[in-house]
Structure 1
Amino acid sequence: MSDIETRQKKLPVLLFIRGEQYFDDVDPDATELTTEGTLELTEEGLLLTYQETALTGMEGTTTTFEVSGPQVILRRVGSVNSQMVFEEGRQHTSLYETPYGELSVDIQTSALRHNLSERGGLLEIKYSIAVEHTVTGRNSFKIRVKRK
């Protein structure tokens, strides 16, 4: 398969996702999810896409990680609509739409690493989150991607 064919194709992948939320002096709250998704190479980088499930409380939502250069954009569309921008050492503010209204969310990324390619790899992000400018905790997630 040529580079051009690879770049225009959504490759089936398995995603192993582990998210952790840390609150003051409490053991982290961890969520683990294994799901099928797609990996697509783009001019700007790559896209990881998967469907949320009842386990995450966001059934009916499509989640996409857009990885380009030093930045990762997390987009959710469906029962939950949001966009979160992660860039190490920078803060980004976005709106998080819920059935109850919109919230302002500040994301401060402390670490962002990945070695993703068409073969798979690992994406790791550590960040703190503030809702309506009040810090609600520190979070991290790791996504291991394996070609099917």
Structure 2
Amino acid sequence: MEKRMIKVLGTQTDLKGEKNTIELTTEGKVYEKNNHMYIVYEETEISGMEGATTTLKIEGDHKVSMKRYGGMDSQLVFEEGKHFTSQYKTMFGNFRMDVKTSTLKVNLSRQNQKGKIEIVYDVVISGLTETKNTLEISVM
């Protein structure tokens, strides 16, 4: 298990075109298990999810799973061109969350466990909100 600096840049655009961008740089852990690479980091108040832990499971170049625990639990699966439905668990109740990934680029080196993941996806939460999102995760 290696300690690495993790930089997360996320942009969310609602249907009105209003953008919200969050940038987080934090220390995290990178390790390999069962032929998959994992990236684990703690969220901060900058991301609005202070106290939550995010785990990314990289399954080759075509699939990335993201799990968040603590406060608001969620699981997202990103596979280019595919649709994924899950539950978004908050203190206000559970909501259906639909994710459709349009772009997934994984460029991580197994040798030095550094690189970048780029994801472009749409999210609909129980018909309440709909956003277009970009997520860039850099492992340094």
Shift of 1:58: 1.1
Q: For residues 29-108 of structure 1, what are the structure 2 equivalents within 5 Å?
A: 29-69=20-60, 70-108=62-100
Identity, in percent, stands at 35
Unpaired runs of 5+ in structure 2? none
Distance 1:37 1:12 in 2: 6
Q: Measured at CA, do residues 57 and 25 of structure 1 come closer, stay the same or move farther in structure 2, by a change above 3 Å?
A: closer
Q: Please say if residues 21 and 139 of structure 1, whose CA atoms lie closer than 8 Å, have aligned partners that are also in contact.
A: yes
Moved over 3 A (4+): none
Structure 2 counterpart of 1:136, one-letter code: E
2:126 aligned with 1:132:
yes
Deviation digits for residues 28-62 of structure 1 (CA, Å, limit 9, x no counterpart): 32111110001111223200000011111211111
Deviation digits for residues 5-39 of structure 1 (CA, Å, limit 9, x no counterpart): xxxxx110001110001123535321111100011
Give the structure-2-normalised TM-score.
0.91
Unpaired runs of 5+ in structure 1? 1-9
Structure 1 counterpart of 2:71, one-letter code: S
Structure 1 counterpart of 2:102, one-letter code: S
Bigger mean CA offset, 69-78 vs 22-31: 22-31
1:28 aligns with 19
RMSD (Å), alpha carbons: 1.4
Structure 1 counterpart of 2:69, one-letter code: V
User: Which protein has the larger Cα radius of gyration, Structure 1 or Structure 2?
Assistant: 1
The residue matched to 1:55 in structure 2 has which SS?
helix
Q: Please say if residues 92 and 106 of structure 1, whose CA atoms lie closer than 8 Å, have aligned partners that are also in contact.
A: yes
Shift of 1:116: 1.0
1:16 aligns with 7
Give the structure-1-normalised TM-score.
0.87
Q: Measured at CA, do residues 109 and 135 of structure 1 come closer, stay the same or move farther in structure 2, by a change above 3 Å?
A: farther
Distance 1:25 1:134 in 2: 14
